Amino acid sequence: MIKNKFNYILEKLPYKQPFLFVDRIVSLSEKGIIGSYTFKPTESFYEGHFKGFPVTPGVILTECMAQIGLVAYGIYLLGEEGEVDYSKLQVAMTTTDIEFLKPVYPKESVTVVSEKVYFRFSKLKCKVQMHNAKNEVVCRGIITGMLVAK
Protein backbone atom coordinates (compact mmCIF):
# COMPACT_ATOMS: atom_id res chain seq x y z
CA MET A 1 0.00 0.00 0.00
CA ILE A 2 2.67 2.54 0.99
CA LYS A 3 4.81 1.60 -2.01
CA ASN A 4 1.80 2.33 -4.24
CA LYS A 5 1.39 5.73 -2.56
CA PHE A 6 5.05 6.48 -3.27
CA ASN A 7 4.68 5.51 -6.95
CA TYR A 8 1.45 7.52 -7.20
CA ILE A 9 3.25 10.65 -6.01
CA LEU A 10 6.16 10.06 -8.40
CA GLU A 11 3.68 9.78 -11.30
CA LYS A 12 2.12 13.13 -10.35
CA LEU A 13 5.40 15.08 -10.40
CA PRO A 14 5.26 17.79 -13.10
CA TYR A 15 8.73 16.85 -14.44
CA LYS A 16 10.18 14.39 -16.92
CA GLN A 17 13.64 13.48 -18.17
CA PRO A 18 16.02 15.18 -18.53
CA PHE A 19 14.78 17.44 -15.71
CA LEU A 20 13.55 14.85 -13.22
CA PHE A 21 15.77 14.55 -10.14
CA VAL A 22 13.80 12.00 -8.10
CA ASP A 23 14.40 8.24 -8.33
CA ARG A 24 12.38 7.09 -5.36
CA ILE A 25 10.59 8.06 -2.21
CA VAL A 26 11.87 6.23 0.85
CA SER A 27 9.62 7.60 3.59
CA LEU A 28 6.60 9.86 3.84
CA SER A 29 4.54 11.21 6.73
CA GLU A 30 2.70 14.29 7.91
CA LYS A 31 6.03 15.55 9.29
CA GLY A 32 8.23 15.11 6.21
CA ILE A 33 9.59 13.13 3.30
CA ILE A 34 12.78 11.27 2.44
CA GLY A 35 13.72 10.56 -1.18
CA SER A 36 16.76 9.77 -3.27
CA TYR A 37 18.39 10.40 -6.63
CA THR A 38 21.53 9.15 -8.38
CA PHE A 39 23.28 11.63 -10.66
CA LYS A 40 24.00 9.96 -13.98
CA PRO A 41 27.38 10.66 -15.60
CA THR A 42 25.53 11.43 -18.85
CA GLU A 43 23.62 14.42 -17.39
CA SER A 44 24.11 17.30 -19.85
CA PHE A 45 25.26 19.85 -17.26
CA TYR A 46 28.43 17.84 -16.54
CA GLU A 47 29.78 18.68 -20.02
CA GLY A 48 30.55 22.25 -18.99
CA HIS A 49 30.66 22.21 -15.18
CA PHE A 50 33.65 22.00 -14.91
CA LYS A 51 35.89 21.19 -17.92
CA GLY A 52 37.58 17.86 -17.23
CA PHE A 53 36.34 17.76 -13.62
CA PRO A 54 32.55 17.39 -13.52
CA VAL A 55 30.74 18.63 -10.40
CA THR A 56 26.99 18.89 -9.93
CA PRO A 57 25.96 22.58 -10.02
CA GLY A 58 24.43 24.01 -6.85
CA VAL A 59 21.32 25.03 -8.75
CA ILE A 60 20.77 21.37 -9.68
CA LEU A 61 21.29 20.25 -6.08
CA THR A 62 18.72 22.86 -5.05
CA GLU A 63 16.33 21.61 -7.74
CA CYS A 64 16.74 18.02 -6.55
CA MET A 65 15.95 19.09 -2.98
CA ALA A 66 12.94 21.10 -4.20
CA GLN A 67 11.55 18.26 -6.34
CA ILE A 68 11.72 15.80 -3.46
CA GLY A 69 11.39 18.00 -0.39
CA LEU A 70 8.84 20.50 -1.64
CA VAL A 71 6.95 19.27 -4.72
CA ALA A 72 6.67 15.52 -4.04
CA TYR A 73 5.92 16.30 -0.41
CA GLY A 74 3.40 18.98 -1.40
CA ILE A 75 1.60 16.52 -3.68
CA TYR A 76 1.23 14.21 -0.69
CA LEU A 77 -0.02 17.01 1.57
CA LEU A 78 -2.52 18.27 -1.02
CA GLY A 79 -3.86 14.73 -1.39
CA GLU A 80 -4.30 14.47 2.36
CA GLU A 81 -6.55 17.55 2.21
CA GLY A 82 -8.93 15.92 -0.29
CA GLU A 83 -9.51 15.28 -3.99
CA VAL A 84 -6.98 17.03 -6.23
CA ASP A 85 -6.82 17.44 -10.01
CA TYR A 86 -3.06 17.05 -10.43
CA SER A 87 -3.30 17.80 -14.16
CA LYS A 88 -3.83 21.43 -13.11
CA LEU A 89 -1.04 21.51 -10.52
CA GLN A 90 0.91 24.75 -10.52
CA VAL A 91 4.19 24.88 -8.61
CA ALA A 92 6.35 27.90 -7.87
CA MET A 93 9.43 27.96 -5.68
CA THR A 94 9.28 31.28 -3.83
CA THR A 95 12.41 31.36 -1.66
CA THR A 96 15.53 29.33 -1.02
CA ASP A 97 18.33 29.69 1.48
CA ILE A 98 20.80 26.87 0.83
CA GLU A 99 24.25 26.30 2.29
CA PHE A 100 26.55 24.11 0.15
CA LEU A 101 29.06 22.04 2.14
CA LYS A 102 30.44 19.28 -0.12
CA PRO A 103 30.57 18.61 -3.87
CA VAL A 104 28.46 15.97 -5.57
CA TYR A 105 30.03 14.12 -8.50
CA PRO A 106 28.62 12.00 -11.34
CA LYS A 107 27.38 8.55 -10.24
CA GLU A 108 26.80 9.77 -6.66
CA SER A 109 23.56 8.90 -4.93
CA VAL A 110 22.05 11.47 -2.62
CA THR A 111 19.25 11.34 -0.09
CA VAL A 112 17.03 14.34 0.58
CA VAL A 113 15.42 14.71 4.00
CA SER A 114 12.72 17.34 4.21
CA GLU A 115 10.91 18.39 7.37
CA LYS A 116 7.75 20.48 7.20
CA VAL A 117 7.96 23.87 8.88
CA TYR A 118 4.42 24.79 7.80
CA PHE A 119 1.82 24.19 5.09
CA ARG A 120 -1.02 26.69 4.92
CA PHE A 121 -2.83 28.69 2.25
CA SER A 122 -1.09 26.59 -0.44
CA LYS A 123 2.35 27.66 0.80
CA LEU A 124 4.80 25.00 1.95
CA LYS A 125 7.99 25.78 3.86
CA CYS A 126 10.48 22.98 4.52
CA LYS A 127 13.81 22.51 6.22
CA VAL A 128 15.85 20.32 3.84
CA GLN A 129 19.13 18.44 3.95
CA MET A 130 20.91 16.45 1.27
CA HIS A 131 23.21 13.58 2.32
CA ASN A 132 25.72 11.63 0.25
CA ALA A 133 26.24 7.84 0.44
CA LYS A 134 28.54 8.33 3.45
CA ASN A 135 25.64 10.12 5.21
CA GLU A 136 27.60 13.40 5.12
CA VAL A 137 25.54 16.56 4.73
CA VAL A 138 26.16 17.90 1.23
CA CYS A 139 23.86 20.92 1.51
CA ARG A 140 21.06 22.15 3.73
CA GLY A 141 18.66 25.01 4.08
CA ILE A 142 15.10 26.24 3.76
CA ILE A 143 12.92 26.00 0.65
CA THR A 144 9.51 27.65 0.34
CA GLY A 145 7.01 27.32 -2.48
CA MET A 146 3.41 27.50 -3.58
CA LEU A 147 1.44 24.45 -4.73
CA VAL A 148 -1.97 25.07 -6.23
CA ALA A 149 -4.21 22.65 -8.13
CA LYS A 150 -6.75 24.90 -9.88
Catalytic residue IDs: 49
Query: How many CB atoms are closer than 10 A to CB 31?
Result: 9
Show the DSSP H helices in 44-106 as ranges. Answer: 58-66, 73-81
**How far apart (Å, rounded) are the C-alpha atoms in residues 86 and 114?**
22
Chain centroid to CA 8: how far? 16
Query: How many CB atoms are closer than 10 A to CB 128?
Result: 25
